[in-house]
């Protein structure tokens, strides 16, 4: 990124960022037009490349920005001393749904980016994700009480399955135009299903229904 971008006024930075998030959330990288981004941001067509080397550089900057914003929300809403894995998962799922409602461009861009076919971008995004996920997983789940699980449960595999299912529910909800409340209820049912499946009975009864 050209340091000139950080020198322009914040309001203009935000316009450019939001325009990029909007356009890239709607179209794959190949079909997203920088002309549309410039027009929406209210800047000259060639101005974008005064701040960023090229279209890919801008895209990667936006992806870093989006993950940073999500990280900030996580930091303010999560109790990193929590020991119950399903309390952590529940808060995470609800946070994602709330972000989807509050910041649709931001969240939809992240979803779109993770389906990107451009090989250079796909590799860069995977590298960013790997570093981000390792850091977040260590922070969120390092204190999980594993004594609550039935024998033989692989926590890492469990989290993968929960994530696959929750992503499916969320994408279905987006496609069908479901409300936040509808998706929240489905998410809570999903968590209860997994909790019944992997927790020892005494711990499930103690927690009751989520």
pLDDT for residue 104: 73
Q: Is residue 13 very low, low, confident or very high in pLDDT (cuts 50, 70, 90)?
A: very high
pLDDT for residue 153: 93
Q: Is residue 209 very low, low, confident or very high in pLDDT (cuts 50, 70, 90)?
A: very low
Percent of the chain with pLDDT over 70: 95
CA distance 45 to 129: 31
pLDDT for residue 201: 86
What's the domain count of the chain?
A: 1
Structure confidence by residue, pLDDT tens digits, 146-168: 999 999 999 888 988 988 888 78
Q: Is residue 69 very low, low, confident or very high in pLDDT (cuts 50, 70, 90)?
A: confident
Cα-based distances in Å from 17 to 6, 40, 44, 56, 62: 12, 10, 15, 14, 7
Q: Which domain holds residue 48?
A: 4-207
**Across all residues in the chain, what is the average pLDDT?**
85
CATH code at position 113: 1.10.357.10
CA distance 59 to 53: 11
Cα-based distances in Å from 137 to 55, 134, 159: 31, 5, 10
């Amino acid at each position: 990124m050209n340091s000139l971008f950080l020198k322009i006024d914040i309001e203009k930075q935000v316009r450019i960022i939001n325009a990029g998030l909007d356009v890239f959330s709607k179209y794959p990288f190949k079909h997203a037009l920088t002309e549309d981004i410039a027009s929406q941001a209210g800047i000259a067509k060639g101005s974008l490349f005064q701040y960023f080397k090229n279209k890919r550089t801008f895209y990667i900057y936006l992806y870093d920005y989006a993950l940073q914003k999500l990280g900030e929300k996580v930091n303010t809403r999560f109790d990193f001393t929590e020991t119950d894995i399903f309390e952590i998962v529940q808060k995470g799922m609800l946070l994602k749904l709330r972000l989807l409602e509050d910041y649709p461009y931001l969240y939809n861009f992240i979803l779109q980016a993770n389906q990107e076919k451009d090989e250079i971008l796909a590799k860069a995004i995977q590298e960013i994700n790997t570093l981000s996920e390792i850091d977040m997983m260590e922070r969120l789940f390092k204190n999980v009480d594993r004594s609550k699980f039935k024998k033989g449960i692989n926590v890492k595999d469990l989290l993968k399955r929960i994530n696959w299912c929750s992503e499916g529910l969320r994408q279905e909800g987006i496609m069908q135009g479901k409300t936040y409340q509808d998706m929240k209820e489905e998410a809570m049912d999903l968590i209860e299903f997994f909790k019944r499946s992997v927790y020892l009975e005494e711990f499930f009864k103690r927690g009751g229904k989520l």
